[in-house]
A and B are shown apart, each in its own frame.
Chain A
């Protein structure tokens, strides 16, 4: 019998510190097949997990894609998405030649024409040059999606190719990663905290420095499905099996891993901060903290304890809808575990009280003494791939100041693409939300939507979409984005498949190569906490597709040749854009995987501070449980609980009458990365339809059965999904999947691949943010739900009709009164439209 753990540890035992010399070469020949070893990132969408692939190629065509048993983290495993990668890269709908379409034909699928790369990139460059001259570079905006490799490039497209400060991450309240980065930067530096799974060591679990976590606290996180930001989720199962690691889940849903946990705290959505404060209360009450660490390295512990004294478990139990006993029990279990580790999830970001939750979770990671300790929560050294604006505090010790390691912003200013005035005065929304502006490199998205609609503070003219689909995925009130974006003078996209936003709004389509079609690099947590540096090695060419970098270089040379002419190849750019490994690209490629081998306790060894002194890169030099940085931005320096903007406490009347359910969204499915992968047969087969979880008691009351189509509506809009009746969701709460569209349906407007039929963000407002400008309502909205029947109704997700109800933002201005913002947005709402339709076969057909 072959034990994979043994195989892997044999391979690993033979692996020296930096780059395995006796590992299989990155490229080998087996008969008439070439086998490439490479690490995957994107496209297709994925976070920088960098799983190891062995790609078999014959006559320039992929014959087989397998996991790479020599990869120290994944050791031969792959998730379904890379296993289905062949179906994706050779999909008949993939766009593999550049295309253009006259502006007047936006929304019409049959009007695209193939064109050459030169023509396509000239169209883009000329439009940009004209708009820069006529209206100013700041009127060009660049959209990026989450987590993908293109995340590295969209700020560079903005700052270095077009010279605009306005890159856009369109999710209301920048509700992904940004808030957690802010918490980290403000309170302690150290990149991004992650659970310890020996992910940095060549010997992995066998490294003598490593101790397994006794307990992992999964807070608003389901890492098995999402491999978030590079955390290889199934490592948690490895540690549960191998070391008996215990789990506590805090989640309104009982997830699969929750059924294997010691405790699942199934709280009312959006009340997490109250619970986290109660956890700290219990740790202080029972004195389950590490005083030595607290005294030597933190600031403000007593003030924190004073603050959480307002939140004993009895009060939190009432707020969260939990049993008080369970809170005591779970917090004690956590406090007594040695070592304990904390994984904070996206739920931290998607709430208006999330910064305060993040503050509590940083406290839970650290006051136990297990921050950056073996088996605790590790820190990184804050290599940020040059994109983070560097006044946020995550500057690392050995940062160099020469050109090659300047941030994107520094380069843009130095080489004249962008003036300081443009950066400081034309980045939309950062005057109103300086906290967002201080850490993020983009505009503030809710303010951008308003600017698009009102032309204030200035009119926008051109948009680019770099692997981002704001009307099917991250945009709240997607009809508003759609309506605003289709009015711009020129729009183009870099992507692999046609999608609703490109079909509706774009004039040029530039086809991008997938992860196995270009050379590149992948680093977990985008370099903020690096387990390893992985090489993406080009294995094949598909059509005329080009890498994001090559496309950027082509357009860049036509606008700012003095800067862009220095790069002749992608390798030049990869060498220029080095990661903390400081290894030249060809060495990275030969190694395939280079483990970071970072040590623990970086705050003791001076690895976190720019001056190389021990401590944290904060104002006090300590980990600030009392945060001066937040205080600087007019936020409370200590955590506090605020009930969600929508919910039984904030709006009891509305919940009693029209909207009796709390809605939470965004749970991950392993088979899809957000709006992607819907056209891949092996993956769509796993989840053919969008599903909304509803408790059996609620379902019975409403006459809803498993598999019924239901309509879900909020004050903002509605959509339709299929009911999944399950006891894992609390009574009175529903969970709906996000980013579902139907690539098999009519592409042209108004249907746009059914973009609005099942999009749960039809129900989500924009501009309901925290004071800081971060956070939104994705995890705690109100809604109602009812069964609907398919009587040849055009609005049905299986029909090609249109489900398009005007966003009701105009008539419903709660966000303006809940936390007053500036003038309400008026006007550009489309009328209800019902057009002709044709019945299409059930979706099942596409997976046959």
Chain B
């Protein structure tokens, strides 16, 4: 079963920790990203409630931290995520977790 990353983006604060943690892990240059935080800018919905989402997604440079995982660890982005909204696992496990929450979730295969 393939592995991936699940993000509960209802609670991704857009803090950029995952981006830098990934860059450190993959030893990337300053303009390269294995993980990138995107923003859907704030706006007010017709009912007056607010929309403002961040979502972190892995790029083609992401190798799901194969070295760390092989050594028994967890991916750098997952570990450092301040909101603890990133999860690593098999797609099956992640899907179950996402469905259990039922909203604002996404699973990525880099």
A interface residues (Cβ-Cβ under 8 A, vs B): 1-5, 7, 64-67, 69, 75-80, 83-84, 86, 224, 234, 237-238, 240-241, 254, 256-260, 264, 670-671, 681-682, 685-686, 726-728, 847-848
Known: A4-B84, A64-B24. A847 touches B11 (CB 8 A): no
> Which residues of B (51-77) have their CB < 8 Å from a CB of A?
51-52, 54, 74, 76
- Asked whether, in the complex, the Cβ of B10 is within 8 Å of the Cβ of A848, the reply is no
**CB within 8 Å for A76 and B13 given contacts A64-B24, A726-B41, A727-B43:** no
Q: Which residue of B lies closest to A264 (CB)?
A: B50
| B44 interface residue (CB < 8 Å to A) | yes
- Check B52–A4 contact: CB distance below 8 A: no
Q: Determine the chain B residues whose CB is within 8 A of the CB of A686 once the complex forms.
A: 16
Beyond the given pairs A237-B13, A670-B16, A727-B44, 20 more chain A to chain B contacts, judged by CB atoms under 8 angstroms and listed by A's residue number, are A1-B87, A2-B74, A2-B88, A65-B24, A66-B79, A76-B79, A78-B80, A83-B17, A86-B24, A224-B13, A234-B13, A238-B83, A238-B84, A241-B83, A241-B84, A258-B50, A670-B15, A671-B16, A682-B20, A728-B52
- Which B positions have Cβ atoms within 8 angstroms of A? 8, 10-11, 13-17, 19-21, 23-24, 30-31, 41-44, 50-52, 54, 74, 76, 78-85, 87-90, 93-94, 97
Residues of B within 8 A of A75 (CB): 84
B83 & A78 in contact (Cβ 8 Å cutoff): no
Chain B: minimal CB distance from A536 (Å): 20
- Distance of A686 Cα from B24 Cα, bound (Å): 16
Question: Is B8 in contact with A241, judged by CB distance below 8 angstroms?
Answer: yes
Query: Using Cβ atoms and an 8 Å threshold, which residues of chain A touch B24?
Result: 64-66, 83, 86
Nearest-neighbour CB distance to chain B for A272, whole angstroms, equals 21
CA–CA, A847 to B30, complex, Å?
7
The residue in chain B whose Cβ has the minimal distance to the Cβ of A225 is B15
- Residues of B close to A78: CB separation below 8 A: 17, 21, 80, 82
Distance in angstroms from A249 CB to nearest chain B CB is 11
A281 to chain B, nearest CB (A): 25
**B11–A254 contact, CB under 8 A?**
no
Q: A847 vs B54: C-alpha distance in the bound complex, in angstroms?
A: 22
Task: Tell me whether A79 and B15 are in contact in the complex, defined as CB-CB below 8 angstroms, given that A1-B88, A64-B24, A685-B30 are known contacts.
Answer: yes
Shortest Cβ distance from residue B108 to the other chain A in the assembled complex, whole angstroms? 15
Residues of B within 8 A of A848 (CB): 30-31
CA distance A237 to B23 in the complex (A): 25
Q: How far is the CA of A237 from the CA of B83 in the complex (A)?
A: 6
Task: Flag if A726 contacts B42 (CB, 8 Å).
Answer: yes
Q: How far is the CA of A514 from the CA of B57 in the complex (A)?
A: 32
The 8 closest A-B pairs by CB, nearest first: A1-B89, A259-B50, A83-B20, A234-B82, A1-B93, A76-B79, A259-B52, A237-B83
In the complex, the answer to whether B42 meets A728 with C-beta atoms within 8 Å is yes
Assess whether A77 is in contact with B84, with CB atoms less than 8 Å apart. yes
Chain B nearest CB, measured from A362 CB (Å) = 29
Given A4-B74, A670-B16, residue A260 in contact with residue B10 (CB < 8 A)? yes
Contact A84 B50 (CB under 8 A): no
Bound together, the chains give a CA A27 to CA B93 distance in angstroms of: 36
| Min distance, Cβ B23 to any Cβ of chain A, angstroms | 7
User: What separation, in Å, do the CA atoms of A3 and B96 have in the docked complex?
Assistant: 14
Distance, CA A78 to CA B20, complexed state (A): 10
- A7 to B41: give the CA distance in the assembly, Å: 34
Q: Given that A1-B93, A2-B89, A3-B87 are contacting pairs, would A84 and B20 also be in contact in the complex, using a CB cutoff of 8 Å?
A: yes
Min Cβ gap A174→B in Å is 30
Given A254-B50, A686-B16, verify A681-B10 contact (CB < 8 Å). no
A240: B residues at CB distance < 8 A: 11
A670 to B15, CA, bound (A): 7
Give Cα A593 to B10, complex, Å: 32
Q: Is A256 a contact partner of B83 (Cβ separation < 8 A)?
A: no
Nearest Cβ distance between residue B37 and chain A, in whole angstroms? 9
Most buried by B among A65, A79, A264: A79
In angstroms, Cα B19 to Cα A475, docked, is: 34
A393 to B44, CA, bound (A): 46
Looking at the assembled complex, report how far the CB atom of A76 sits from the nearest CB atom of chain B, in whole angstroms. Answer: 4
Contact (Cβ within 8 A) B17 A259: no
14 contacts between A and B (CB under 8 A): A1-B93, A2-B89, A4-B79, A7-B74, A76-B79, A78-B82, A84-B20, A224-B82, A234-B13, A237-B82, A258-B50, A264-B50, A728-B50, A848-B31
Partner of B13, one of A1, A69, A256: A256
Question: Is the beta-carbon distance between A77 and B81 smaller than 8 angstroms?
Answer: yes
* CB closest chain-A residue, reference B89: A1
- Bound CA span A4–B76, Å: 12
Residues of chain B lying within 8 A (CB to CB) of residue A3: 87
List of B residues within 8 angstroms of A65 by Cβ: 24
Q: Which residues of B contact A257 (CB under 8 A)?
A: 13
